[in-house]
Amino acid sequence: MEETDERKQGDVVDGPAESVTLIDVARVAGVAPMTVSRALHRPELVRSATQKRVLDAVRATGYVPNMLAGGLASSKSSLVAVLLPTIASSVFADTVQALMDGLTAARYQTLLGLTGYSAQREEELVEAILGRRPDGVVLAGTDHTDVTVERLTRAKIPVVEIWDLTDTPIDIVIGFSHEKLGEELARHLVKKGYRRFGVLTVDDPRALRRANSFIHELQRHDIDNVSFEIRLAPATVQVGREGASAVLEGSALEIIVCSSDTLAQGVLAEAASRGLQVPQDLAVMGFGDLSMAAHVYPALSTVRVDGGAIGARTAQALLERFASGDRAKDYLVRVDTGFTIVDRDSA
């Protein structure tokens, strides 16, 4: 029931925001401090007119709610930590957007950390983030240090590994098989008649697994002479151009398969600079189906991954786990979102 002990509205409190208290907000709004707390944390218990008065008072005073204090009282922080390799590439954009939309609608906040493709850096971030008592953690990939796995297991909070699959997840895993993708892509391109391959990838563990699976499948089709180039992450158009130059050096290739659409865009640029026609002289294959893939010239053949679905399912999994309070892992443990090979003009 809503607090009814409303008081006369007071004047705006002057001074820095950190000195403004919930009691000050209550005085300005003309309500009891309990009503302010309910309006901020349980708005469904407060009449809309009262909530508006409280929010107006918050804006007028510059009050900043102490979410950590509220979390300590309820054993909940309403915080979810999301660790990604990089934001330099937009391949994770749809995932992050869908994940944040789902969590924000449920009044959870997100904290983003960047690992730089380093398992050691991820370990350090996990240690720092656990000190903030998050309600859940989202990790890109399934390649972690033993220390990271141990800490997250002992934390007894929901953990979701995304953009990957494994038979031994920490808790929940939502994504696709990079090994299966590499195999199916190799079979697809061999069936189209390609025999002389170049592979250009950055040193991301997931990209390397795709590339190794791709090359292994080519070998099953008696294709052994593959020009293979690994570049430092993150993937950029410049890295794509430089990598293409290295792959093409001394090789008569029919197609270059890239670990990302961004690298593939760089390959298209390098091919154009050499006067090579795509796909007549050199075909190009990307990964990710970024927004630019269908609009570069020629339109880029690629592999589509439904990043938005991964983000939405991750938010759903976390919210269901938060609601149940159960880490028994008897539901929604391993979700395969799949992938689609997209044939366009470049291959």
pLDDT value for 176: 97
| 7 within domain boundaries | no
Residue 9 has pLDDT above 60, yes or no: no
Q: In terms of domains, do 147 and 215 share one?
A: no
CATH of the domain at 289: 3.40.50.2300
Residue 208 has pLDDT above 60, yes or no: yes
Beta-strand pair 79-84/172-175: unpaired
Q: In terms of domains, do 216 and 325 share one?
A: no
Q: In terms of domains, do 211 and 290 share one?
A: yes
Average pLDDT over residues 247-265: 95
Residue 234 near residue 86, CB atoms below 8 Å: yes
| 9 within domain boundaries | no
26's CB contacts (< 8 A; 6+ apart) are: 7, 32, 33, 35, 36, 57
- Counted domains in the chain: 3
| 188 within domain boundaries | yes
Average pLDDT over residues 104-122: 94
Helix (H) or strand (E) holding 11: none
Cα dihedral 29, 30, 34, 35 sign: negative
Cα dihedral 112, 116, 118, 121 sign: negative
Residue 318 near residue 103, CB atoms below 8 Å: yes
3-state DSSP call for residue 48?
helix
Q: In terms of domains, do 297 and 149 share one?
A: no
| 4 within domain boundaries | no
- Range name among 51-55, 286-290, 306-310 with the lowest pLDDT average: 51-55
Q: Hunting for tokens 């218990």 — which residue is that?
A: 45
| 262 within domain boundaries | yes
Q: pLDDT digits over 331-347, tens only?
A: 558 899 999 999 999 99
Among 65, 90, 121, give the residue marking a domain's end: 65
Phi, psi dihedral angles at 197 (to 5 degrees): -110, 145
Residue 240 near residue 264, CB atoms below 8 Å: yes
Reference 227, options 213, 244, 242, 239; nearest CA is: 244
Average pLDDT over residues 285-306: 96
User: How far does CA 287 lie from the centroid of its chain?
Assistant: 16
| 322 within domain boundaries | yes
Among 65, 92, 125, give the residue marking a domain's end: 65
Q: Rounded distance, CA 128 to CA 151, Å?
A: 11
Average pLDDT over residues 107-130: 94
pLDDT value for 327: 55
Q: In terms of domains, do 259 and 332 share one?
A: no
Q: Of all residues in the chain, what percent carry a pLDDT higher than 70? A: 89
pLDDT value for 77: 81
Residue 220 has pLDDT above 90, yes or no: yes
CATH of the domain at 23: 1.10.260.40
123's CB contacts (< 8 A; 6+ apart) are: 144, 145, 147, 148, 151
pLDDT band at 88; cut points 50, 70, 90: confident
pTM: 0.78
Q: In terms of domains, do 210 and 262 share one?
A: yes
Residue 24's domain spans which residues?
Answer: 17-65
